[in-house]
Amino acid sequence: MSWETEKDFFYDFIIENNVIGFFDEPLTLKSGRKSYWYVNWRTVAEDVFLLDRVSNFLLSFIKSLNLKPDCFYGVPEGATKLGVITQYKWAFEDKKIKPGKYVLSMGRGKPKDHGELRDKYFLGIPKGKVILIEDTTTTGGSMIKAIDELEANHVNIIAAIGLTNRNEIRDDGMTVEEAIQKKNVQYYAMSNAIDLIPRLHPNPEVSNHIKDYFKKYGTREIEFL
């Protein structure tokens, strides 16, 4: 099955599992922006069955891009579990797997105060060609921080993938894709909030707030049917 076909199932999965939702009163984000909508993958990440499905979608996506990594690494801590599960599946698709061929890596949510640089940030440093994974991408700050930590340890990052891109312009005027490309890493989004939100049919008042939000912060304006 091609990703173009499977993408519809992924979007349905996001909707069915309430990954995107709405507030009657706005929530202030870390960026200081007030949002009437959210993207939250945490509930999915807490469920074995659902996270198994997400990892399958992710593997299908990277194969559609013809990417051939040696290691998946989840941005700590939101995508840590997804990175571990996807790496495990990817490694065992290799019929010639053997000890030492694939590393199972994790990043620390909080760096250690002592030890070597690699031990400070990682429980098993990624090796070979690495794909970086994030659940929700807003400004790309967490992903860029992870890229910096990996590159400081001479890790070869071949792609950065977000499960959902919020499709927002950063304060510096760049898109997430542009900011990450400045790090010489290509960013890919498996889903885009600007395409998903209209499928959820928020009430007219919330829809108007969201329209205003994307006029101010969006990579493009949002359209409701």
Indicate the number of domains in the chain.
1
Q: Is residue 224 part of a domain?
A: no
* CATH at 213: 3.40.50.2020
> What global pTM score does this model have?
0.93
- pLDDT tens by residue, 44-81: 999 999 999 999 999 999 999 999 999 999 999 889 99
- The answer to whether residue 195 is domain-embedded is yes
193 within some domain? yes
pLDDT reported for residue 23: 93
Q: 125 pLDDT exceeds 70?
A: yes
User: What DSSP assignment string belongs to the chain?
Assistant: --HHHHHHHHHHHHHHTT-EEEEEEEEEPTTS-EEEEEE--HHHHT-HHHHHHHHHHHHHHHHHTT---SEEEEPTTTTHHHHHHHHHHHHHT-TT--TTSS---EE-SS--SSS-HHHHHEES---SEEEEEEEEESSSHHHHHHHHHHHHTT-EEEEEEEEEE--B--TTS--HHHHHHTTT--EEES-BHHHHGGGG---HHHHHHHHHHHHHHBSS-----
